[in-house]
Amino acid sequence: MAATLSRLDISVDGVSVTYNNARLALYNATCTVEPGTITALVGPNGSGKSTLFKSIMGFLQPSQGRVRIGGFSVQKAQKQQLMAYVPQADEVDWNFPVSVFDVVMMGRYGYMNVLRIPSAKDRRLVMESLERVGMVKYRDRQIGELSGGQKKRAFLARALAQEGKVILLDEPFTGVDVKTEKGMIDLLMELRDEGHTILISTHDLASISTFCDHTILLNRTILAQGKTEETFTKENLELTFGGLPMLSLNQMFESTEVDA
Amino acid sequence: MNQLVVAFPFWHWLVEPLQYEFLIRAIWVSAFVGLVCAVLSCYITLKGWSLMGDAISHAVVPGVVLAYALNIPFAIGAFTFGFGATVAIGYVKSKTRLKEDAVIGIVFTGFFALGLVLVTKIPSNVDLFHILFGNVLGISQQDIIQTLIAGSITLIVILLRRKDLLLFCFDPNHAKAIGLRTQVMYYTLLSVLALTIVAALQTAGIILVISMLVTPGSIGYLLSDRFDHMLWYSVVSSVLSCVLGTYLSYHFDVSTGGMIVVILTTLFVIAMIGAPKYGILAQEWRKRSGPNPEDDENQTVVVDQV
């Protein structure tokens, strides 16, 4: 199974993004997400994590630079269903009248004909994806009736159903209990072993070294990148989180060291 | 025996207007318009485009006036200006630092004012009152045809693209991520919105059409959290209001559009208070009876809709 999946990298080359109000959100960001790895994108609030994510996903057009997914342009990669996206919780309208099953089925739309009538295969893949994240018994719930962890799992199931080889998760562990986080991490590691390339933006410094192979540190531009154990140095973190009180930074740093 | 005598005049009162062909026709037309508006209403309320609907409905006025002056079908003029207004809104928003609501406010009042100036200057037989408030009882054969065409196109487009449009309303980012063209969907939804307004022009008039575009979907939204059910509630409440409103407006000799919207709003109030899950009473009830014990796992589901 793993052999059938060609591994894809994400290459970001000199990307700058300026918003309408002339604020420079991202400056000359160049980084590579190695194929078949779990890579963490780390930086303080307002450091441009979301902007970089949106540029990679093609939700916004960088004013400079370019993004390639396994050598393809973003648009081409999207057309071929190579990229799946798990949104932040606050980007979703949880009152929207759709069930968990409906949401996961949306992952299959790109494979269906114009009328989007699901085939037997589509249904099977949706059920398999639901099973994989342990959400089968909640499939008929309206999405607002789920707990924080279940919501994340529902959208992760959609990404699985889409069979994207590159999966981007924006702050997947906020509002998620420890048990669910552990379950999701195990699943992500499984996916990596099957050949998926996974990029995660996160605040949760403590857990990064336990499962992220690579880390990219970001604050308006790329400050450091590489293997997590090499990138996650005190100096680099201070550089990235410069504005933070040193005490809390030390604590975080020590706890990650213990984990490693 | 006695009952029959009492019942008979009421029966007579009930069926008497139905012998007038113009009234039957008006009822059919408004039922159709009610159907079209109800279907679109579900998408518009979920997308949060109520204000956009209001803008388009006002912006069609100059188009209607010019169409009559140039002797072309009113629907063409109305659609051109209605759709043109949305393009103008999109353009101004992308080129300035203004917020969307401000841009919408500027553009639609500008179009509307232009319409007012034109209607008072260009000699035509356009009755401003009819544009503003509708005139379904006096609708002409030609106008019916235009209404039917505009409404049918809307229904067909939505029927064919319903899943994509729903995805576009729910999660445009995902739509983009799977390679769908969101720009196309954006303009598709705007076009059918403009077409629906054109269809509803003769029935409700531009002032009240926004009610027919927002209220049915909102009723459905309060009554259900499945889109299919929401759609049905929306259609039933809307068609019922249109039929009943047109019929009663003849009886009581009142404004047709007004009567339709009064009934529709009444249905909304009933739904708002009595909806089984999201109604005010149900929420009160839940608050008093405490958390739901049926819920499996301890991850309590909070359904505190604001």
Residues A28 and A62 in one domain: yes
Task: Give how far Cα A68 sits from Cα of A57, A85, A147, A247, B130, Å.
Answer: 10, 16, 35, 39, 57
From A129, A163, A197, the end of a domain falls on A163
CB contact under 8 A, A87 and B227: no
- pLDDT, greater one: B7 or A154: A154
Q: For residues B266 and B276, what is the distance between their CA atoms, to the nearest angstrom?
A: 17
Q: How far is B12 from chain A (nearest CA, A)?
A: 44
Q: Is residue B117 part of a domain?
A: yes
Please tell me which of the candidates A81, A115, A142 has its beta carbon nearest to residue B225: A142
CB contact under 8 A, B176 and A78: yes
Chain B CB within 8 Å of residue A91 CB: yes
Q: What are the tens digits of pLDDT across the range B2-44? A: 555 556 788 888 888 888 889 999 999 999 999 999 999 999 9
Q: For residues B146 and B4, what is the distance between their CA atoms, to the nearest angstrom?
A: 45
SS3 content of chain A, % helix, strand, coil (to 5): 45, 25, 35
Residues A113 and A183 in one domain: no
Q: Is residue A110 part of a domain?
A: yes
CB contact under 8 A, A147 and B171: no
Residues A33 and A150 in one domain: no
CATH number reported for the structural domain that contains residue B146 in this entry: 1.10.3470.10
What pLDDT is stored for residue B12 in this prediction?
Answer: 83
What pLDDT is stored for residue A258 in this prediction?
Answer: 42
Q: Is residue B3 part of a domain?
A: no
Q: For residues B22 and B31, what is the distance between their CA atoms, to the nearest angstrom?
A: 14
Q: For residue B47, which residues of chain A lie inside 8 Å, CB to CB?
A: none
Q: What is the mean pLDDT of chain B?
A: 90
Q: How far is B176 from chain A (nearest CA, A)?
A: 7
Domain count of the fold of chain B: 1
**In the block, which residue shows the tokens 């069609």?**
B60
What pLDDT is stored for residue B124 in this prediction?
Answer: 67
Q: DSSP string of B65-88?
A: HHHHHHTS-HHHHHHHHHHHHHHH
- Tell whether the model's pLDDT for residue A255 goes beyond 80: no
pTM of the model: 0.89
SS3 assignment, position B97: coil
Q: Is residue A258 part of a domain?
A: no
Q: Is residue A248 part of a domain?
A: no
**Cβ atoms of A208 and A228 closer than 8 Å:** yes
Residues A159 and A180 in one domain: no
Q: What are the tens digits of pLDDT across the range A58-117? A: 999 999 999 999 999 999 999 999 999 999 988 999 999 999 999 999 999 999 998 999
Q: What are the tens digits of pLDDT across the range A173-213? A: 988 888 889 999 999 999 999 999 999 998 778 888 889 99
A172 is in an annotated binding site: no
- H or E segment to which residue A203 belongs: none
Dig out the tokens for B123 from the structure.
Answer: 């000699």
Q: Name residue A168's beta-bridge partners.
A: A85, A199
pLDDT bin (cut points 50, 70, 90) of residue A241 is confident
Q: Is residue A61 part of a domain?
A: yes
- Tell whether the model's pLDDT for residue B92 goes beyond 90: yes
Chain B CB within 8 Å of residue A158 CB: yes
Q: Is residue A77 part of a domain?
A: yes
**Cβ atoms of A47 and A211 closer than 8 Å:** no
Q: For residues A186 and A182, what is the distance between their CA atoms, to the nearest angstrom?
A: 6
What pLDDT is stored for residue B305 in this prediction?
Answer: 42
- pLDDT, greater one: B192 or B296: B192
A134 is in an annotated binding site: no
CATH number reported for the structural domain that contains residue A226 in this entry: 3.40.50.300
Domain assignment of residue A61, given as a range: 8-82+164-242
Q: Is residue B197 part of a domain?
A: yes
Please tell me which of the candidates B174, B179, B303 has its beta carbon nearest to residue A85: B174
Chain B CB within 8 Å of residue A146 CB: yes
**Cβ atoms of B57 and B197 closer than 8 Å:** yes
What pLDDT is stored for residue B13 in this prediction?
Answer: 82
Domain count of the fold of chain A: 2
Q: For residue B170, which residues of chain A lie inside 8 Å, CB to CB?
A: 93, 96, 98, 106
What pLDDT is stored for residue B3 in this prediction?
Answer: 57
**Cβ atoms of A78 and A164 closer than 8 Å:** no
Residues A169 and A236 in one domain: yes
**Cβ atoms of A44 and A201 closer than 8 Å:** no
Please tell me which of the candidates A58, A91, A97 has its beta carbon nearest to residue B221: A97
What pLDDT is stored for residue B292 in this prediction?
Answer: 58
| B212-217 mean pLDDT | 96
Q: Is residue A20 part of a domain?
A: yes
